[in-house]
Structure 1
């Protein structure tokens, strides 16, 4: 066509017209190329090349250029064998018979059309384009055994969805192509397959026309279809039209049937298996020629509605032609005529306009009755003139909604296509160009949403990527880790790294779990090594010590194992780091030990006590007390300290280590601060209850926290209890009498209640004498309470004396235990 000065091509599908339009524009430029379909019209005034759907092919040159019908240098009709189609055949037949180019006319189609073309146009030249590749039948295949780059053809939406769901589960998904999809959505789905993002495409028989795909195999999920009248088996030529999608140019293709596919689209009386004759016909490209083409009067008379119907039902005179079955437009015309809607339609212009309304395609596939009602309502508005722009804009706005499931969006797209068709008519809508643009924009938006829904439902891109690596080195997968800890394969999430442990994406199905883990494990050593390096460089930001372990991002990074009597624990990396390379493990361990040393600085006084237990100059008595202080994690009660055996000359040595000899406890003050107590608890060294802030006094006590001693119903920190008792002893030392006054203000300022203060004083050996109450009617301050110190006198622990004279019983001579008795004494 581009070699001629002008031309027009008629296509069976608008997506084909659009595809070729884009190619011609690239050669000739936009100003010289027009696109005319039922729903879209791009028609520059200077256009010389027209790409159209067959129904929209112009009989006259547009743009006011005038000229006779068919005034194009070149004319072509694609898929001309569709002249035998029950619904649209008469349109193709009309173009085949009457549309001619001045210089050249091409009829492109199947060889089955050749005898009829020779009969209708004896002078036509026949040019055959042989297939360079072979098509081979390979029998039945299960879904799990289908080769990559396969198309599965089904004949109902239910079966298409069912097969697509199974492919998503086991093969990562598929593209979906159905006649009910908008061309934009169909193209987007085809691109999903062509780009290699998925290896399978599930389609209806719409795949057999107008789709050039990179296919290796075509599998039929069924061999019967409903043709609008009855359920019938596909003709061999129809099977070949679909199977012929496999293989391209010189690359061979295969076809067969799919086993295990369920759905109502398959007839139980016709199992999905090719006969030998059908296989031979498809492989050898030999099919029975067409015996007739459907014809209908292309230029009926519009004098009356009855005459219009009679002309449309007239029979052809040529034996090669047959009267077309009643198409939808004629059925709608007759239905509305029977309903009396045509009673007010008078004059050829009005009747022609009414017939144009009846020719509105049924994009919604609602059937004759529902479609006739829609056309009837449309005619009620058109009868008075134009449809108002506001009315049309409101209808388009109602449909411009991307919410809903696949079926809902398909319904809206079908409805918006009806309005796009209405807006393209030259005398139907006010502000036609603006309304047509709105309709196209709404369809594009809905098509994008539908593509997204189909992809979301039927494509698991992650599984598709991993399936392509089956049998290959999974270490070559482009696995990466983003800043949020998400593990990606070609930007698809397969899981997360929590700490140093890989956790599979919880949204993954059970069947994908093992595959995702296997894919991740190949890259985990590298990813974990990089993660360890970042953690070390950040100086372990976010890490903490909890329950005897180092925790990072909620996972155990390392365990802190304590040996007997040891304050500083050993660092043992957790199981999550088992895949970490040896060099990274060593570096991480050393860095953790250095980090832990800084964290353990508040426990330096406890380490000094532990070191002193190994000092031979301390003496056995001091070392015994140090062992008790280390075991008590910084304090021990005086009654359990064994001070009776500690020489007084060793006390200065212990005080230099920070040991305080209190009235009730022996303790190290610096170890009673919040930081060391918290560390001892987090390390698991001190398992007693923790009071994190180490408040001076606790009001209620269930279990005595570490570092506190009871005082009535309260608990007081050990060092503050000593402060109160020390003040009491100081007050006692300033008086010569046995009784002394001691103000409870210090204890109350710390937080002790009066009763708790008295209990603490009693525990420290003090006894209270209540002050006398004032006589009745006397005035003045009451007499203060007086305190006295009466330390408890406990009997020394040892062997009880014998009864009688208080002397131990002597051992008789000759008794073999006599020497032992002497040693005991």
Structure 2
């Protein structure tokens, strides 16, 4: 068979026909298989092995830029699949499976596998460097190292509420060491700042998917596409796995998924409004009374959300709102509005100009009155300014402003944290203490009740005795009391005593 010129990956095997390489797999042309099946089954293996060896030499000399790792775990060399990742016990150290024919043997095969492993190590050590630095840090104390290990095991993101007590116990030096490792102590989350970029997130999601093959991975491509497009927030699809949002650096709040670092920008804006005190200048945008705030355009712009979305996001973060009607003086809602209200109104509505036949008539009457002297018999004509009708704003613009002012309500937000597991545990401990207190109080009340049941009996006897004593004392007091001799009661008493003595004398 005549030799042919090799184009790209098409090769010519002497006495066996031509075929093509894809990575380290050789595919014989189908046309030659149909014509010379027997000859193709007995092709020269030595020539094919030599071609594999040359290809392996080129492969080992290739730069890292010639390799790519796709989201399905396939390693490609100049666009052709050469290997596949397989999960191991360590999620950050996957195993490489070589995709090659048996003709790649011996030392060439070992060199190809070693080159693939070097690329995989280089790729993950580069993209996941901020996370790996937590595991490799040597200048941390025991408590700080435990916290860093916990953050490492959670792949760089921890809700602050879940580690609130641990963070509270960290001293300033420990916090400084952790910040040097790229850890950000946010208001809502504690995370590694460098792990929120697209490349590390794609690497993490790939490793997680390899480790959790049987888990639901629906929506992963859509979430990563939103991340690559720079979406700070988007609508949550209930059919997607919520874990994928967290891996991609998003937090689900209501029906929106918001990037974790963007939430910290929102927290900074809110913090300035809550730290403001009435009477101080300058007043932050959105501040109300130092205890609550209202949503501003800057907050919505950072999150890429409208007013309805902001309400859901703030509720998910633990804030509660109460409505404030626009009929309440606006100076309580916005200090700057009250100071510029008059100037804004005059700027929107310019001074009315006098036009029309009425104005001409008024001008003529003014000129006549200036020439003719007024007399006492003539009535004084009204002033020109009194004849001018009051200018009223008209048009669709004014109607829109009036409707907006009438219908708009302002929501004031204040922080009321929702109960999480951390707070539930604390509440459970309090509840146990309350139950113990209730038991002791019920025992004391029972003993008090038993004693009180006995005391009323004694009190009843004492009451009768006291009643008799008071009656006898009352009689004695009546007997010993000095009566007025002139009163009719005294005379009756004297008569009664005399009759009693006479009766006793007869007996």
TM-score > 0.5, shorter chain as reference? yes
Residues 802 and 669 (structure 1 numbering): CA distance in 2 closer, same or farther, change over 3 Å?
closer
Q: Distance in 2 between matches of 1:634 and 1:480?
A: 56
Q: Distance in 1 between matches of 2:81 and 2:201?
A: 22
Residue in 1 aligned with 2:282?
Answer: none
Question: Is 1:619 matched with 2:142?
Answer: yes
Q: Distance in 2 between matches of 1:481 and 1:680?
A: 45
User: Among residues 692, 700, 707, which one is paired with 2:249 in the alignment?
Assistant: 707
User: Among residues 51, 64, 69, which one is paired with 1:545 in the alignment?
Assistant: 69
Residue in 1 aligned with 2:232?
Answer: 696
**Deviation, structure 1 residue 645:** 3.3
User: Among residues 625, 635, 638, which one is paired with 2:157 in the alignment?
Assistant: 635
Q: Distance in 2 between matches of 1:502 and 1:559?
A: 18
Query: 8 Å contact 2:255–2:312 — kept in the other structure?
Result: no
Residue in 1 aligned with 2:327?
Answer: 774
Residue in 1 aligned with 2:471?
Answer: none
Query: 8 Å contact 1:708–1:715 — kept in the other structure?
Result: yes
Q: Distance in 2 between matches of 1:746 and 1:685?
A: 37
Query: 8 Å contact 2:130–2:182 — kept in the other structure?
Result: yes
Secondary structure of the 1:642 match is helix
Residue in 1 aligned with 2:293?
Answer: 741
Residue in 2 aligned with 1:717?
Answer: 259
Q: Distance in 1 between matches of 2:98 and 2:23?
A: 10
Q: How many residues align?
A: 328
Q: Distance in 1 between matches of 2:436 and 2:64?
A: 74
Query: 8 Å contact 1:543–1:552 — kept in the other structure?
Result: yes
Secondary structure of the 1:769 match is strand
CA RMSD of superposed structures (Å): 3.8
**Deviation, structure 1 residue 530:** 0.8
Query: 8 Å contact 1:567–1:606 — kept in the other structure?
Result: no
Q: Distance in 2 between matches of 1:779 and 1:488?
A: 79
Query: 8 Å contact 2:86–2:94 — kept in the other structure?
Result: yes
Residues 733 and 595 (structure 1 numbering): CA distance in 2 closer, same or farther, change over 3 Å?
same
Secondary structure of the 1:608 match is helix
Secondary structure of the 1:785 match is strand
Residue in 1 aligned with 2:415?
Answer: 789
Residues 554 and 566 (structure 1 numbering): CA distance in 2 closer, same or farther, change over 3 Å?
same
Q: Distance in 1 between matches of 2:206 and 2:4?
A: 35
Query: 8 Å contact 1:741–1:784 — kept in the other structure?
Result: no
**Deviation, structure 1 residue 610:** 2.4
TM-score with structure 1 setting the length: 0.35
Q: Distance in 2 between matches of 1:606 and 1:685?
A: 18
Q: Distance in 2 between matches of 1:777 and 1:616?
A: 64
**Deviation, structure 1 residue 684:** 4.8
- After superposition, residues 164-203 of structure 1 pair within 5 angstroms as none
Q: Which has the bigger relative contact order, CA under 8 A and spacing at least 6?
A: 2
Residues 720 and 804 (structure 1 numbering): CA distance in 2 closer, same or farther, change over 3 Å?
closer
**Deviation, structure 1 residue 611:** 2.0
Residue in 1 aligned with 2:309?
Answer: 756
Query: 8 Å contact 1:556–1:574 — kept in the other structure?
Result: no
Query: 8 Å contact 1:635–1:666 — kept in the other structure?
Result: yes
Secondary structure of the 1:626 match is helix
Deviations, residues 645-680 of structure 1 (Å, cap 9, x unaligned):
342213333222111122222211211111111222
Higher helix share: 2
**Deviation, structure 1 residue 701:** 2.7
Q: Distance in 1 between matches of 2:92 and 2:98?
A: 21
**Deviation, structure 1 residue 801:** 2.9
Q: Distance in 1 between matches of 2:235 and 2:75?
A: 33
**Deviation, structure 1 residue 599:** 3.2
Question: Is 1:599 matched with 2:151?
Answer: no
**Deviation, structure 1 residue 541:** 5.8
Secondary structure of the 2:424 match is coil
Residues 480 and 768 (structure 1 numbering): CA distance in 2 closer, same or farther, change over 3 Å?
farther
Question: Is 1:673 matched with 2:299?
Answer: no
Deviations, residues 694-749 of structure 1 (Å, cap 9, x unaligned):
52122453424321112333211111122112321222112364533344322322
Residues 679 and 777 (structure 1 numbering): CA distance in 2 closer, same or farther, change over 3 Å?
closer
Deviations, residues 552-582 of structure 1 (Å, cap 9, x unaligned):
3665422334543453445x35141543243
Question: Is 1:529 matched with 2:53?
Answer: yes
Residues 506 and 698 (structure 1 numbering): CA distance in 2 closer, same or farther, change over 3 Å?
farther
Q: Distance in 1 between matches of 2:99 and 2:276?
A: 65
Query: 8 Å contact 1:504–1:517 — kept in the other structure?
Result: no
Residues 714 and 586 (structure 1 numbering): CA distance in 2 closer, same or farther, change over 3 Å?
same
Residue in 1 aligned with 2:166?
Answer: 645
Residues 480 and 669 (structure 1 numbering): CA distance in 2 closer, same or farther, change over 3 Å?
farther
Secondary structure of the 2:277 match is coil
Q: Distance in 2 between matches of 1:587 and 1:771?
A: 72
Secondary structure of the 2:325 match is coil
- Segments of structure 1 that go 5 or more residues without pairing to the other structure are 1-464, 466-477, 810-825
Q: Distance in 2 between matches of 1:723 and 1:770?
A: 25
Q: Distance in 1 between matches of 2:404 and 2:14?
A: 93
- Segments of structure 2 that go 5 or more residues without pairing to the other structure are 279-288, 329-400, 441-507
Residues 635 and 741 (structure 1 numbering): CA distance in 2 closer, same or farther, change over 3 Å?
same
Q: Distance in 2 between matches of 1:758 and 1:790?
A: 14
Secondary structure of the 2:30 match is coil
Q: Distance in 2 between matches of 1:616 and 1:699?
A: 42
Secondary structure of the 1:544 match is strand
Residue in 2 aligned with 1:485?
Answer: 9
Q: Distance in 2 between matches of 1:567 and 1:804?
A: 48
Query: 8 Å contact 2:92–2:207 — kept in the other structure?
Result: no
Query: 8 Å contact 1:479–1:523 — kept in the other structure?
Result: no
Secondary structure of the 1:771 match is strand
- After superposition, residues 197-236 of structure 1 pair within 5 angstroms as none
Of the structure 1 ranges 580-589 and 759-768, higher mean CA displacement relative to structure 2 is found in 580-589
